[in-house]
Structure 1
Amino acid sequence: MRKILIATEKPFAPVAIKKISKIFEKAGKEYNLVLLENYTDRNELLQAVADAEALIVRSDIVNTEVFEAAPKLKIVVRAGAGYDNVDCDAASAKNVVVMNTPGQNANAVAELAIGLAIFGLREMFSGKPGGELRGRTLGLHGFGYVARNVFRIARAFGMKVIVYTHYSKGAAAAIGLKVTKSLEQLYEKSDIVSIHVPARGEHIKSVSYEVMKHLKDGAVIVNTARKEVINEPDLIKIMEEKPNIKYMSDITPDCEKEFAAKFEGRYFFTPKKAGAQTAEANINAGVAAADQIVAFFEKGDVTYKVNG
């Protein structure tokens, strides 16, 4: 039998596990689903994965240590869009396929981004006079699944939406979005900037002083991507120079103490990464992961493979 291990420090909802189980039951008796939930000792994961052929994780770290402990492992699926918690090079070295489940939590993250924008504009519901979304310009830094959902929601609020993207210019233009010529232009023209790029390659620290210096004083930056895309010293500098800029995120930056000391009332960080923390996203990502594993073993389908 093929052992399919779900290893989650933050477990899937029971209804998600029920749906995942049904997928493997329907696929055939050769699939044996095993759960490792709420584990606190890394050795529990290493022991559980030893005879697994497939692994489903959420934000759990899957590194060289895990691949060395799992000689039978053929596929790892990260239930979610970001997969920086999986060492893709180590996986490739062991001929293990790594997949993510793009788009499954996109609406959840998009709703959070809009919520953070509202929270920032309304002075974090402190009682101070705030602002409205309607009539303001929203700049999308990136145009993947999440950003497209943010566009859909923002348009319903009566916002003007613009975008900067390297790779999806045609898709953005096709639905009537204005694509800016540069990232600097996007930040210059936006009242709210919502960041939707992965923590890889050219995007690492791409939100730099040279980009942010073009922001209007009073702009709101919303980051539901990753902290690594922000140049944190540059963010501190720009917030010092422009005293009405706000930074809203579901990722606590490394420089949190400096924010607390200098920028009270101008920032908000959720206690933990919150973009995909909805029942719907939880179910969607888990079900997609199960479907992809079955398709991989039954059909050799590697549509969502992310490693070389």
Structure 2
Amino acid sequence: MKVLVATEKPFAAVAVNGIREAVEKGGLELALLEKYTEKAQLLDAVKDADAIIIRSDKVDAEVLDAAKQLKIVVRAGAGYDNVDLEAATAHNVCVMNTPGQNSNAVAELALGLMVYGARNLYNGTSGTELKGKKLGIHAYGNVGRNVARIAKGFGMEIYAYDAFCPSEVIEADGVKPVASAEELYKTCQYISLHIPATKETKNSIGHALLSSMPKGAVLINTARKEVINEPELVKVLEERPDFKYLTDIMPGNHAELAEKFAARYFSTPKKMGAQTAEANINAGIAAANQIVDFLKNGNRKFQVNK
């Protein structure tokens, strides 16, 4: 059986070596499609693949139609909105992610953005300190927990809201649970976003929540672009000269934000939360091991489609 690694943005060589070792140790064949420039190349490569490992690459109905032998797709990373889950289910293809493998990398970036915001984007003016400030973590999953762990070292007062995480789990980490997103935003000067992009969350972070934040508010988004209501974000930035927005997912209205709010807005050129050597290796090898376990033993532990 063949495992295809299809990556427009390739894994590091050491990660590919680790993937190859895991795949071949499992008695499977590895094929690589790296730095491809056209979808046709992907469609051709998937024709005889039993499994696919991807990063931000899109697996839609057309790809699934072309992959007649495909049994499993693993997204090396936490987010999986680049895979058409309904189409995968219709094709009887299992879709998995690799939760937790990129979490520390994303969390460290979130704290780095907080420091950058606190010091006025390193523009030479007097900034503030993170110590003693209230940090709200919106979604207390793998990344959120790592953010809390690191933020404790800065002496921040940490709150969290997660509709699906029991309060006692949050409290056990020395973090204060709150009952709603509204309470989180009203309470905390810093908010670190970690919610996925779903029907319920898309455009959910808008004027009502953001305008309720305390003076000197800083919103950090290392989650997904789609969760932000971008026109309403502009309105908040216009109304509040004290509000800052920092992200590693370039907004659709980036040019407008950069022009109007250069001193209070920052976006990395491309998404980079998981762009560390360690995360790259961890997620790739985890994806390979999950594929071997699925094909050999039927283990569906990290399946995300029904």
- TM tier, shorter chain? over 0.9
Q: How does 1:242-281 map to 2 (within 5 A)?
A: 242-281=240-279
CA deviations 1:225-260 (Å, max 9, x no partner) are: 001111111111111111110000001111112212
Does the Cα contact within 8 Å between 1:232 and 1:253 map onto a contact in 2? yes
Whole-angstrom CA distance in 1 between matches of 2:51 and 2:101: 20
Does the Cα contact within 8 Å between 1:217 and 1:243 map onto a contact in 2? no
Alpha carbon RMSD of aligned pairs, Å? 0.9
Q: What code does the residue aligned with 2:179 have? A: K
Between stretches 173-182 and 268-277, larger displacement belongs to 173-182
Does the Cα contact within 8 Å between 2:107 and 2:147 map onto a contact in 1? yes
Matched, 1:112 2:116: no
Whole-angstrom CA distance in 2 between matches of 1:173 and 1:203: 25
Deviation beyond 6 Å, 4+ runs, structure 1: none
Matched, 1:131 2:128: yes
Between stretches 146-155 and 210-219, larger displacement belongs to 210-219
Whole-angstrom CA distance in 1 between matches of 2:63 and 2:183: 44
> 1:149 aligned to 146, 153, 158, which one?
146
Residue in 2 aligned with 1:9? Answer: 8
> 2:231 aligned to 207, 216, 233, which one?
233
**Aligned-pair distance for 1:176?**
2.6
Whole-angstrom CA distance in 1 between matches of 2:16 and 2:91: 28
Q: Any gaps of 5 or more consecutive residues in structure 2?
A: none
**Aligned-pair distance for 1:7?**
0.3
Aligned residues: 305
Residue in 1 aligned with 2:58? Answer: 61
Whole-angstrom CA distance in 2 between matches of 1:105 and 1:87: 22
> 1:207 aligned to 202, 205, 208, which one?
205
**Aligned-pair distance for 1:211?**
1.1
Whole-angstrom CA distance in 2 between matches of 1:205 and 1:265: 24
Q: How does 1:69-84 map to 2 (within 5 A)?
A: 69-84=66-81
> 2:195 aligned to 171, 181, 197, which one?
197
What secondary structure is seen at the aligned counterpart in 1 of 2:48? coil
Does the Cα contact within 8 Å between 2:258 and 2:266 map onto a contact in 1? no
Residue in 2 aligned with 1:185? Answer: 183
**Aligned-pair distance for 1:280?**
0.2
Q: Any gaps of 5 or more consecutive residues in structure 1?
A: none
Does the Cα contact within 8 Å between 1:139 and 1:161 map onto a contact in 2? yes
Whole-angstrom CA distance in 1 between matches of 2:305 and 2:3: 20
Q: What code does the residue aligned with 1:121 have? A: A
Matched, 1:49 2:72: no
